[in-house]
A and B are shown apart, each in its own frame.
Chain A
Amino acid sequence: MKKRYLYLLLAPGLLFLTLFMIVPLILTVGSTLFKDGSFTFGIYLQFFKDSYFLDILGTTLLVSVATTLLCILIGFPVAYYLSMMPPRKKGILLALAIFPLLTSSVVRSFSWMIILGKNGLVNNVLIKLGIIHDPLSILYTPTAMIIGLVHLFLPLILITLVGVLESIDHDLVRAAQSLGASKLTAFRKIVIPLSIPGLIVGSILVFVGSLTAYTTPALLGGKKRVVATFLYQNAITLNDWQAASAIATIMMIITFIVIGLMNKAAAKFNPKG
């Protein structure tokens, strides 16, 4: 095919993305670096001295780390279980995991408002059982955010890991066992190392997703802010465009650092070289 055609086919899409995504992003980052016409990192210095912002950043990172760890701890055993199912049953269970993934995040976060609220399911059950007397405040706390985010991202890590675990040659495990390794040793020395690249990919998806999630923290976090809701608040409620642009830049930088580091780690730990 002639080069000319090639560029003709790619040009409309590229032009569209450049105009409406790349240029606005560059302008946004650029706008944070100039004040009264001179170059400055002032706004970032201000942010990282501000205890309110550091608190928000801390909550966001804590919630994201907790969500990622929980997703892996819960997701890995289940993915392992799924990967060993007969195809038909596996198909049904996978479909049941994918369904929530395609369902609106508003719907899914809302369901936790019903469950975790003051008159919600959890409190009602605990009170009826006589375990507590006064309803617990779970909704509108970081804990509620973590529960909602784990619910949001668990399917993602499940399907990523099932894909990876399926590709592991189970003859290797059988070979190890026939050579005298126990089931657990074979699992630890073969299945886990071979699934590390998949675990890392899954972790990137969950971590970055939690770090930048808006809906779940907005509905379940109450007054507790995360970076995404803080960005929205600065832009829409406070009309502080400079601050909002700086938060947007910080979010992008953190996202790219995380993706970069984890990709490096994935390459390093890839046992297939």
Chain B
Amino acid sequence: MKTKNPGLALFSFIVYLFLLGPLLIIAVTSFEPGTVLKFPPTGFSLKWYQNIFDVEMFMSTFKTSIIVSLLGNVIAILLGVPAAYALNRVTFRGKDTLNAVFLSPLLIPGIVLGFTLLKYVVITFHFPIYTSLLIGHTIIMLPFIIRVIGSSLANFDFAVEEAALSLGSSRLATFFKVVLPNIKSGIIASVLLAFLESFNNVDISLFMTGPGVSTLPIQMLTYVENYFDPTIAAISVLLMLITAVFMFVIERLLGLTYFTKQ
């Protein structure tokens, strides 16, 4: 159905301006040569980009963020792929409940998860902060792995697997040679989505800071509370570039319909 409705088109245009305008403004202000963020900027300079690399805390927290997101992702894949396979391969009693348990980190407020991790895993069980940070990030990545790989598996014809098994292939070999190649794009997409979720996370990381341990978003948050120079704008631009690349790859692998079908 096609309707030409100029009012609706104009309204939508304004809403998109509201959505994307602020991100553009950040990008523009990151080139400010002065020490205070201004829009429009008073000139053009890349010195605040240089400053990112000069401030030790940004580099070290960036490293922590990358390590935690990557390592957490690996653990989430190791825990999540077998679970997603079991949840989609056969029907059994309690399947829906188990599925809900695996997706529950999406429903429980992140700030509550972060707090309980600090209170029990760090303080009561004496886990090191770095390990707890990793555990927390693994928890929030699991639902993405389960959901995206789950929907890939739901589209997979398990008769192909049966065929391989009946021809004498072992279960494990069949999984790696037949099932895995078929859900490859789902796995890569889920890894990227989970990575972004973890890399941008504030709620959990907020409670998991200690001597020498903090993530980039938390460092940015602390910086913004104390300084108002364009460094954060410059970092934001770099983060948006990474996001854009990730999104492009996810779109290639899953299509945008993944986002519209909840």
Contact = CB atoms under 8 A, between A and B. Distances in A.
Interface of A: 1, 3, 5-6, 9-10, 12-14, 16-17, 20-25, 27-28, 74, 77-78, 80-82, 84, 91, 93-108, 110-115, 119-121, 124, 151, 154-155, 159-160, 162-163, 166, 170, 173-174, 183, 201, 208, 211-212, 214-215, 218-219, 228, 231-232, 235-236, 241, 244-245, 248, 251-252, 255-256, 259
Given A111-B25, A231-B111, A20 B117 contact: yes
Contact of A103 (B12, B38, B136, B243): B243
Contacts of B160: none
Given A14-B101, A215-B202, A252-B108, A28 B116 contact: yes
Contacts of A114: 22, 25-26, 29, 37, 39, 233
Contact of A91 (B12, B112, B199, B256): B256
A94 B8 CA distance: 16
A245 B119 contact: yes
B101 to A, nearest CB: 6
Interface in B85-125: 85-87, 89-90, 92, 98, 101-102, 104-105, 107-113, 115-121, 124
Interface string B237-249: 0011001101100
Contact of A77 (B12, B83, B246, B261): B12
Contact of A81 (B9, B25, B203, B221): B9
Interface string B71-83: 0000000111011
Contacts of A23: 120
Contacts of A95: 247, 251, 256
A93 B8 CA distance: 15
8 contacts: A3-B92, A104-B199, A110-B232, A112-B22, A155-B19, A160-B262, A215-B202, A256-B107
B23 A28 contact: no
A162 B260 CA distance: 6
B224 A110 contact: yes
What 7 A-B pairs have minimum CB-CB distances, sorted nearest first? A111-B22, A163-B260, A212-B109, A24-B116, A24-B120, A9-B86, A9-B82
Contact of A106 (B2, B202, B251): B202
A170 B236 CA distance: 41
B26 A17 contact: no
Contact of A215 (B15, B18, B221): B221
A210 to B, nearest CB: 11
Nearest to B200: A104
Of A159, A211, A219, most buried by chain B (CB within 10 Å of CB) is A159
Chain B, interface size category, equals 35 or more
A235 B209 CA distance: 13
B16 interface: yes
B20 interface: yes
Given A103-B240, A255-B109, A96 B39 contact: no
B129 interface: no
Nearest to B218: A106
A251 B109 contact: yes
B1 interface: yes
Contact of B202 (A84, A121, A208, A214): A214
